[in-house]
Amino acid sequence: MSRCVVVGSGAREHALAWALAKSCEVVVSPGNAGMAAHGFTCVDTPATELDADLFVIGPEQPLVEGLADALRAQGKRVFGPGRDASQLEGSKAFMKDFLASAGVPTARYATFSDPDSALSFLDSMSAPYVVKTDGLASGKGVLVTHDLAQARDDVLEKLSGRAFGGAGTTVVIEEGLAGHECSLIVLCDGTDVVALAPAQDFKRVGDADQGANTGGMGAYAPMTSMTPDQVDNVMREIVLPTVAELRRRGIDFRGVLYAGLMLGPYGAKLLEYNVRFGDPETQVLAPLYGDALFDLLKRTSDGRLGGSLAVPSGAAVTVVLAASGYPRRPRVGDVISGLGDDGQLAEEIEGVIVFHAGTQRSAGGVFTTFGGRVLAVTGTGASLEEARRRAYQGAALVTFDGMVMRTDIALGAH
């Protein structure tokens, strides 16, 4: 049987491991308490010291730090781009300049390190105001607001380095776009591209999109309101020009190009690229592609992705259970009840899978919270309604003090 190493420790990696395990033996580095309880081999050994037929790198940080390059230099088969292409996610300023060279439609923007010029540019924009930290900030470095005074304060706070340290001493200020968001996760083998089913992520912490931006509070797929024609247009106008620009720069991109899109009367514009699977989108896509995932990722890594991909049947919805205080100051150490010995639900519900992110387990077997996003409860079903019902039935069995959960994930979607 083939062996696969998944690098990372979040619910996204739990979902990848869960799907890959249908076709191969999976080792997770480092993994987390929930994955271990669920039967996965979790090791502290760095990936560069492990052997496997395929290495799948989950999070952006090791990609930006060059883990894929280091593994490829050892002759290993790797799913994930190198350090150079990871700048597409690692620096919003780099990404915006790249999009301009590639001719990809995106919001108008400018980049600043100096407060005076940043503030005068901001004053010349109209609401909503969008202020972004240049570097990695786990989805929390973006402010979108109608309040100019708040946007001005945010620019000053970010440029001071207080909010995100070195990652935040450059800001991107951009035109606010209205519309619907879509996450289009595209596999790219250096030349060929294949889109997975469009997914929708819910970024704000509160119901009805109120409150702070987070890493993502829930997701569903397929997002059927994004039509196959719209997907084709995005591939033609956004993804293929990106791949052409990567190749022009001599970059062989093998991994995920995750297009964060805004769909509006202007068509589709790219908000951002990520260079890895989405979190929590993977918690709905991995169950939909299940058995096919290992072969797809292996072919992508080998540069022989080819062909198109059948639309998966059914639907999936995931609901994130976050810690008290998330996203600003998540509290750790709250006891989680409702989970069985294997980290799944104490009471089994058909079509429900619990993916662990920030959990820890005591010697006595008690799970406690250990991060901002704690669990992602995914429901699958023949229809979106069924998947949604199951996800919330599952989530209702889990409790911990101060738990933060949206009640409107996939509500009204069809």
d(CA 414, CA 405): 21
Q: Is 136 in the site for ligand AMP (CB under 6 A)?
A: no
281 binds, among ligand AMP, ligand GLY, none (CB under 5 to 8 A by kind): ligand GLY
Total length of the chain? 414
Contact call for residues 260 and 186 (beta carbons, < 8 A):
no
CB neighbours of residue 265 within 10 Å: 6
Q: Which is nearer to ligand GLY, 189 or 281 (CB)?
A: 281
Binding-site member from 80, 278, 358, 379 for ligand GLY (CB under 6 A)? 278
Contact call for residues 153 and 143 (beta carbons, < 8 A):
no
Cβ 262 to ligand AMP, closest distance in Å? Answer: 6
Cβ 136 to ligand AMP, closest distance in Å? Answer: 10
* Joined tokens for residue 163: 């909010």
Kindly write out the interface string for residues 98-117 of this chain, putting x where it contacts ligand AMP by CB under 6 A and - elsewhere: ---------x----------
Is 361 strand, coil or helix?
strand
Contact call for residues 237 and 231 (beta carbons, < 8 A):
no
DSSP 188-214: EESS-EEEPPPBEE--EEEGGGEEEE-
CA atoms within 13 A on the CB side of 160: 8
Q: Name the burial class of residue 52, with classes exposed (0-12), middle (13-18) and buried (19+) by CB atoms within 10 angstroms of its CB.
A: buried
Kindly write out the interface string for residues 176-215 of this chain, putting x where it contacts ligand GLY by CB under 6 A and - elsewhere: -------------------------x--------------
Q: Is 211 in the site for ligand AMP (CB under 6 A)?
A: no
CB neighbours of residue 180 within 10 Å: 12
- For residues 211-240, which are near ligand GLY according to CB under 6 A? 216
Binding-site member from 11, 155, 271, 286 for ligand AMP (CB under 6 A)? 271
Binding-site member from 66, 176, 267, 340 for ligand AMP (CB under 6 A)? 176
174 binds, among ligand GLY, ligand AMP, none (CB under 5 to 8 A by kind): ligand AMP
Stretch that binds ligand AMP, among 173-181, 184-192, 294-302, 374-382 (CB under 6 A): 173-181
List the one residue out of 168, 260, 176, 178 whose CA is nearest residue 216: 260
Residue type, 174: E
* Joined tokens for residue 34: 């929930």
Stretch that binds ligand AMP, among 57-65, 138-146, 351-359, 393-401 (CB under 6 A): 138-146
Q: Which is nearer to ligand GLY, 37 or 377 (CB)?
A: 377
List the one residue out of 348, 182, 202 whose CA is nearest residue 267: 182
207 binds, among ligand GLY, ligand AMP, none (CB under 5 to 8 A by kind): none
Stretch that binds ligand GLY, among 109-117, 233-241, 271-279, 371-379 (CB under 6 A): 271-279
Q: Is 13 in the site for ligand AMP (CB under 6 A)?
A: no
Residue type, 29: S
Q: Which residue has the tokens 């799948």?
A: 56
Q: Is 151 in the site for ligand AMP (CB under 6 A)?
A: no
Contact call for residues 52 and 76 (beta carbons, < 8 A):
yes
Give residues in contact with ligand GLY (CB under 6 A): 139, 201, 216, 274, 278-279, 281
Give residues in contact with ligand AMP (CB under 6 A): 107, 130, 132, 139, 142, 144, 174-177, 181, 203, 213, 260, 271-272
